[in-house]
Structure 1
Amino acid sequence: MTDSPSRKVRVALVFGGRSGEHSISAATAAGVMKAIDREKYDVLPVGITRDGEWVLPSVDAARFELTAGALPEVTPEVGREIAGLAEAGPVDVVFPLLHGPYGEDGTIQGLLELAGLPYVGAGVLASAVGMDKAYMKLVFAGHGLPVAPYVVVKPREWEESPSAVVDRVQARLRFPVFVKPARAGSSLGVTRVDDLTGLSEAIEEARVHDPKVLVEQGVEGREIECAVLGGRAGAAPRASVPGEIVVDHDQAGFYDFESKYLSATHARTDAPADLPEAVAERVRELAVEAFEAIGAEGLSRVDCFVTPDGEVLLNEINTMPGFTPISMYSKMWEASGLPYTELVDELIQLALERPTGLR
């Protein structure tokens, strides 16, 4: 922690990483670098390459922003290589802006717990459950929260008998289905499958990213999201106004990686979503319940479906959602009256007031 009242709080922004969401993590870090209050915080960017090397890049947000036709990268050339945070100098709090496996899944959270360093976001278990969609669904169902039907495809099951897996999916689910890596984000490896003929190929595509695969029944409905922010001093979590993902189905079959990050025309995000008041309140209630069901802390984005008859189904929770100024998490809080710079500050303050260890 700070050793002098006059010294600014030193925040390590850790980003990049070994997952397929490396570039999105770098773009998230660029947004935070530009927004963080430099009068209040001393910023220490810490990049992790795709090979797992740790480097100290300069505080140059532009280097890591998303640009047309190019995705940002953390490479050894962007800064001095270090063995880990211990070589980065004194740090008061860590903002782990890592998306996907090897960061968002509890791995870096465990490292920070061992080091006794305060950090932004969910702890080890909540991060792991939030990353693994199969266990996430089990936890949601165990708390009585509504989820759509799904089938988990484990590595050995697929390797021993693909036909038995296909039969199980056909028996339990209706088409269309969505085939996803169980532990990935940003729609990497996700395929919409409209009939049986494309199922095996879609499972193989998902297995490129994760040997464990989730097959979910498609839901007719609107894609609604809600941002959740932890409460101060043990208070209840706070939910933003809901937002909506509106996909142009003439250009994209669903909200895929290109629609999220590379195309300005495939989809748009509306915040707040145009929902009846009772439905919006139900989304907010379920978002907080999902946050508490997995034991999340700090921040999460909860994704739902709202069916034509107004039923709300949980899709998933993201414990470290995309966090650029134009990301849905930030936009929903902006629409709720909490601007991006203040949101960054609030998350850091939440981390500083929370002890490491069992809680």
Structure 2
Amino acid sequence: MSSTEQSPSARPRVLVLFGGRSSEHAISCATAGAVLRAIDRDRYDVLPIGITPQGRWVRVADDPDRWAIVDGRLPEVEAVPEQVLLPQEAGSRELQVIEPGVPAAALGAVDVVLPLLHGPFGEDGTLQGMLELADVRYVGAGVLASAVGMDKHFMKVVLAGAGLPVGPYVTLRGDDLETDRDGVRSRVEALGLPLFVKPARAGSSIGISRVTDFADLPAAVEEARRHDPKVVVEAAIVGREIECAVLGGRGGSRPRASLPGEIVVTDGTHGFYDFEAKYLDESAVELSCPADLPADVVARVQEVAVRTFEAVDGEGLARVDVFVTPDGDVVVNEINTMPGFTPFSMYPRMWQQSGLSYPDLLDELLRLALERPTGLR
């Protein structure tokens, strides 16, 4: 019997997977800690597995406090001699643990993976492809949607192709700034000031710089390249930063959008919603949910969010970030196919305000994944 035909057990076993090789390792751990605390243990059997910064899969403590960000301390999955392996053939859901000098041991079967990884090597389609090869169900976007959502360049190409509004931008690859300085300068200057210089495939505002003087562009590009050789330079959009959560997809009915939320940076030391403002300085931002918007603008934000989700072929969940201009236009900034998922993160907060609690949100995502077949769909 193939895994697409197997009936999940009365209490499905959930592999909560987190950590990973990206610069968002600690944020992934914090997300996992919140999920481990909230998941309904009467309804699900939980197996936490961490991925070290070097890429080793290991068994980890089922302890939410172990994975919290406390007093600026960033949690990390530590390496141990053992290694956890996924099923090695289609139709099997059995995990194995291997350790040097010790015969492989069975770790039991899993029904679904909850991949709480952010950034490259987890959120970008690579892990999703691995799970597809292993014929294992998982929560969230598939290979294509994950890859497109992670790459800010191709995301904009896809969204623009679907008729969605995106802001002006320039993509820099490799040594463009060195080999074609005048050409790059001309294209970038056409965007105006200020600019935002970003790694094309990173999140949590890591590696992003706000540029108010073109003389600072090379340093900003170099900072972004520390995280990704491909860099996106975006024109600043005048407007309010609004977020909207999307849930569902592929189940026969259209995905639905939450009430929108708004992020306001209140501390002048942060020029934008950077890493510190997000995770280390709670006084720096005000998270307003639901956002104070006219009803017609709320409806427009929700419609754009759902269209964005559908444009990349999303599944399960995503957070869509937009700008609402003074004229009421909605411009897409980006889609995040595995948004931050602590109870204080905007994605679950927006659903809370829309009538769906954190545990119920987790349950719906897991049910969606358990009902979804593996393979082509």
Do they superpose with TM above 0.5?
yes
Residues in 2 aligned to 1:191 and 1:116: alpha-carbon distance in whole angstroms: 40
Q: Could you tell me the percent identity over the aligned residues?
A: 61
Aligned residue number for residue 101 of structure 1: 120
Give CA-to-partner distance per residue, 1:275-297, whole Å, 9 cap, x none.
Answer: 01111110000000000000010
Q: Secondary structure at the match of 2:160?
A: helix
Aligned counterpart for 2:362 among listed residues 337, 344, 352 = 344
Q: Gapped runs of 5+ residues in structure 2?
A: 87-94, 97-106
Other-structure match for 1:92: 111
Is contact 1:166–1:199 with CA below 8 Å preserved after alignment?
Answer: no
Contact 1:26 1:65 in 2 (8 A): yes
Q: CA deviation at 1:163?
A: 4.0
Q: Is the 8 A contact 2:247 2:318 kept in 1?
A: yes
State the secondary structure of the residue aligned to 1:225. strand
Q: Find the counterpart in structure 1 of residue 71 from structure 2.
A: 68
Aligned equivalent of 1:18 = 21
Q: TM-score scaled to structure 2, two decimals?
A: 0.91
Q: Which structure is higher in helix share?
A: 1
User: How do 1:288-303 and structure 2 match up within 5 A?
Assistant: 288-303=306-321
Say if 1:93 and 1:119, in contact at 8 Å, map to a contact too: yes
The reply to whether residue 142 of structure 1 matches residue 161 of structure 2 is: yes
Sort the Cα spacing of 1:159 and 1:92 in 2 relative to 1 into closer, same or farther, 3 A: farther
State the distance in 1 between where 2:223 and 2:7 align: 53
DSSP 3-state at the match of 2:276: helix
Deviation at 1:301, TM superposition (A): 0.1
Instruction: Please give the alpha-carbon distance, in whole angstroms, between the structure 2 residues aligned to 1:291 and 1:193.
Output: 30
How far does residue 240 in structure 1 lie from its aligned partner after superposition? 0.1
Give the TM-score, by structure 1 length. Answer: 0.96
Alignment counterpart, residue 353 of structure 2, candidates 325, 332, 335: 335
Give the total of aligned pairs: 356
3-state DSSP of counterpart to 1:187? coil
Residue 156 of structure 1 and its aligned partner are, at CA, apart by: 4.2
Distance in structure 1 (CA, Å) of the matches to 2:13 and 2:178: 48
Partner amino acid for 1:17? G
| 1:3 CA drift (Å) | 7.3
Report 1:1-359 matches (<5 A): 7-77=10-80, 81-85=82-86, 86-87=95-96, 88-170=107-189, 172-231=190-249, 233-359=251-377
SS in structure 2 of the partner of residue 186 of structure 1: coil
1 CA distance for matches of 2:6 and 2:311? 37
In structure 2, how many angstroms separate the alpha carbons of the residues matched to 1:232 and 1:198? 45
After TM superposition, the structure 1 stretch with the greater mean CA deviation from structure 2, 263-272 or 160-169, is 160-169
Letter in 2 for 1:36: I
Measure the CA separation in 2 of the matches of 1:329 and 1:82.
32
Structure 1 unpaired stretches of 5+: none
Kindly state the Cα deviation for residue 311 of structure 1 after the two structures are TM-superposed: 1.1
Distance 2:16 2:181 in 1: 43
Q: 2:271 and 2:108 mapped to 1: Cα distance?
A: 47
Superposed CA deviations along residues 87-107 of structure 1, whole A, max 9, x for unmatched, are: 243110000000000000000
Measure how far apart 1:164 and its partner are. 2.8
Quickly say closer, same or farther: Cα 1:197–1:158, change in 2 above 3 A: closer
Check 1:131–1:41 CA distance in 2 against 1; reply closer, same or farther (3 A cut): same
Offset, 1:7: 4.7
